[in-house]
Amino acid sequence: MSIPVRKFDAVIVGAGGAGLRAAIQLSEAGLKTAVLSKVFPTRSHTVAAQGGVSASLGNSEEDHWHWHMYDTVKGSDWLGDQDAIEFMCRKAPEVVVELEHFGMPFDRTDEGKIYQRPFGGHMSNFGEKPVRRACAAADRTGHAMLHALYQRNVKANTQFFVEWMALDLIRDEDGQVLGVIALEMETGEVVAFHAKATVFATGGAGRIFYSSTNAFINTGDGLGMAARAGIPLEDMEFWQFHPTGVAGAGVLITEGVRGEGGILRNAAGERFMERYAPNAKDLASRDVVSRAMVTEINEGRGCGPNKDFVTLDITHLDPATIMKRLPGIREISIQFAGIDPIKAPIPVVPTCHYQMGGIPTNYKGQVINENGSTVTGFYAAGECACASVHGANRLGTNSLLDLLVFGKSSGDTVIEDMAKMPKTHKELPANFADKTLARLARLENQKNGSNVHETRLAMQRTMQNHCGVFRFKDKLEEGVQKILEIEKQVAITEIKDKSKVWNTARVEALELDNLIEVAKSTMICANARKESRGAHVRDDAPDTAEFPNGRNDKEWHKHTLWQRDGNKLSYKPVNMTPLSVETIALKTRSY
């Protein structure tokens, strides 16, 4: 069976910060560029980013990209690739000022410079004391950024396909990527987007967990599509739990609140972070703070009738500062916790927030195969990609920066690569749509199958209980078995509504096909990594003199690669060679 084909120079899947930044590069270079998105561009999850975007502008105090690089390597627990980290931190001032020139309405200092606030793990002078590095527009930085990028794309005549869901990559026998197959949600029509370059910017997959700060659309579609096309996924065991999700609701309270002076307290009102991170205290990196909170709760010092949360206190701040710098947070607290933070502390718990792993790329945005070669025609940027700058733990505000830097660099690489490609498109293989159409037909004709909502819930609960902030050997082993069982249910999902127009049931079933790939890779990689590092902390890899923090560099200082076919695992070395400066040598991490 054949489907309609549309031809473009480049197709970008995703219209969040990474997709829009890449699109500006391509459209302004005159390439015929299509951007596909499940939602209107400015509703992408980037819109929810609150706290800021990092860059060593040094607007309020001395700062240097090399310090930023050091903090990022340390934050990553030395799993980040040092070439990519240097590239990102050096480029940061340039891309942030560029964004300002695109019209981004940053807050200002009294001298009219971009306002910067402190953020967890960002320090001056190679780890001395917190530094003001997060460039912010109140507590709505992502919102301001996404709108600025979208407007710039409108000016550049980028062609948007809004409410289109990409279903699968098109890859030929040589392994070259030739575009995607996508579903128009409004009509149910399936169309091929034939392109010389395909850029994935599909964002995160936090919805594999039960409690998440992520939007409902964050279902890891890019990862699912890449995995089905035989591309490995990198470092999937590393998930960041943000310390401050509103207890019971999951909605995020930005770390910027602690940057502005907020303090975490246990039931006794104690500022417990002083015990866990005497130097950085409440501004230690996220994995450290999340674990401290869970330890307080587990040891009976949690708040409330069930002792199951701690509080974030800003009652000592000037109400005028709260209204000016954190208006969105006050609104969220009132709406979701019924508490005005000017008057009372906010109940918070660690909540799944960010995936450090993803589709393997280099710092140019090219996707990298298992054997280290690049995949012709395929690029990825943003949260779906693993460059790897965040390693085992991302620092706050480094993701918005990642979108700008790698969105732009992947666009530049596409332009360079395309100049070397033949003028005409490489022909599509005869059977390019077969697997996708078979998947759709299976869903259409399924009888006596499983319920999508129930299956997804089972997956989310399994991930939450077996692969959370702390990880236990037995729970992980059991988790692998459970997820493999749930995968069988995903293979037989059934939808009752067969209509073509705006069928959200079909979309949710197709999203579950992607979620399960992410969940499976996460559980399997976490079970395999027998050490603690960054966000991955196991009970059977405790803190000892031989292995401080449970980290075992001799055996585990390496990236994981998972392949869907046979759940095969392999490993590759961490790149310890920066582009221009000296290696930041392995060290024990403490804050």
Q: How far is CA 82 from CA 122, 363, 375, 529, 532, in A?
A: 17, 10, 22, 21, 21
Nearer to ligand FAD, 131 or 541 (CB): 131
Q: Which of 59, 153, 158, 397 is in the footprint of ligand FAD by CB under 6 A?
A: 397
Selected from 150, 309, 354, 378, the binder of ligand FAD by CB under 6 A is 354
- Angstrom distances, CA of residue 192 to CA of 180, 335, 423, 513: 6, 43, 20, 19
By C-beta, is 57 or 476 nearer to ligand FAD? Answer: 57
Among 18, 57, 148, 227, binds ligand FAD (CB under 6 A): 18
Q: Which is nearer to ligand FAD, 34 or 476 (CB)?
A: 34
- Quote the CA–CA distance of 402 and 395 in Å, as a whole number: 11
Which residues carry a binding-site annotation? 14-19, 37-52, 221, 242, 254, 353, 383, 394, 399-400
Number of residues that bind ligand FAD (CB under 6 A): 46
CB of 528 to ligand FAD, least distance (A): 25
Beta-carbon contacts of 351 under 8 Å, excluding residues fewer than 6 positions away, are: 211, 212, 213, 241, 242, 244, 245, 250, 252
Q: Which of residues 134-153 bind ligand FAD (CB under 6 A)?
A: 141-142
Q: CB 505 → ligand FAD: shortest distance, Å?
A: 16
List 34, 96, 131, 166, residue binding ligand FAD (CB under 6 A): 166
| 39 Rama sector, left if φ>0, alpha if ψ -120 to 50, beta otherwise | beta
493-494 vs 450-451, strand pairing mode: parallel
Q: How far is the CB of 199 from ligand FAD (least distance, A)?
A: 11
Annotated binding site for FAD: 14-19, 37-52, 221, 383, 399-400
Give the residue numbers annotated as catalytic, written as ranges. Answer: 286
Which CB, 88 or 217, lies closer to ligand FAD?
217
The answer to whether 459 and 515 have CB atoms below 8 angstroms apart is yes
Among 59, 211, 214, 362, binds ligand FAD (CB under 6 A): 214
400 part of the interface to ligand FAD, by CB under 6 A: yes
Mask for 310-349, x = binds ligand FAD (CB under 6 A): ----------------------------------------
Work out how close the CB of 192 gets to ligand FAD at its nearest, in angstroms, rounded to a whole number.
Answer: 14
Q: In this chain, which of 217, 247, 288, 352 binds ligand FAD, going by CB under 6 A?
A: 217
Site string for ligand FAD, 234-253 (x = CB under 6 A): ------------------x-
> What is the spatial distance between Cα 18 and Cα 401, in angstroms, rounded to a whole number?
10
Comparison of 243 and 479: residue with beta carbon closer to ligand FAD? 243
Q: How far is CA 78 from CA 53, 356, 393, 522, 536, in A?
A: 22, 13, 9, 20, 13
Minimum Å distance from CB 258 to ligand FAD? 12
Per CB under 6 A, contacts with ligand FAD among 41-70 are 44-46, 48-53
Using the rule CB under 6 A, is 25 a contact of ligand FAD? no
Bridge partners for 542 per DSSP: none
Instruction: Tell me the C-alpha distance between 381 and 146, whole Å.
Output: 15
Q: What is the dihedral of CA 220, 224, 225, 228, to 10 degrees?
A: 170
Tokens found for residue 371? 């054997």
**128: how many CB neighbours lie within 10 A of its CB?**
10
We find the least distance from the C-beta atom of residue 163 to ligand FAD, in angstroms, to be 9
Which residues are CB-neighbours of 194 under 8 A, at least 6 positions away? 5, 6, 7, 8, 170, 178, 179, 425, 428
- Which one among 10, 12, 19, 376 touches ligand FAD, defined by CB under 6 A? 19
Residue 219: half-sphere exposure toward Cβ, Cα within 13 Å: 22
3-state secondary structure of 226: helix
Give the span between the Cα atoms of 371 and 360, in whole angstroms.
11
User: Taking contact as CB under 6 A, which single stretch among the options 39-47, 74-82, 325-333, 420-428 is the one that binds ligand FAD?
Assistant: 39-47
Task: Kindly write out the interface string for residues 433-462 of this chain, putting x where it contacts ligand FAD by CB under 6 A and - elsewhere.
Answer: ------------------------------
- Among the listed residues 527, 541, 518, 531, the one whose alpha carbon sits nearest the alpha carbon of residue 481: 527
Site mask, ligand FAD, residues 553-582, x = CB under 6 A? ------------------------------
Using the contact rule CB under 6 A, the part of the chain among 87-95, 159-167, 233-241, 369-377 near ligand FAD is 159-167
Q: Which two tokens stand for residue 207?
A: 């919805």
Task: Please tell me the distance from the alpha carbon of residue 223 to that of residue 357, in angstroms, as a whole number.
Answer: 10
The sign of the dihedral angle between the CA atoms of 115, 117, 119, 122 is positive
383 binds ligand FAD (CB under 6 A): yes
Any residues with CB less than 8 A from the CB of 240 and at least 6 apart, and which?
286, 287, 352, 353, 354, 355, 356, 393, 394, 535
Site residues, ligand FAD (CB under 6 A)? 13-19, 36-39, 44-46, 48-53, 141-142, 164-166, 201-204, 213-214, 217-218, 221, 252, 254, 354, 382-384, 396-400, 403
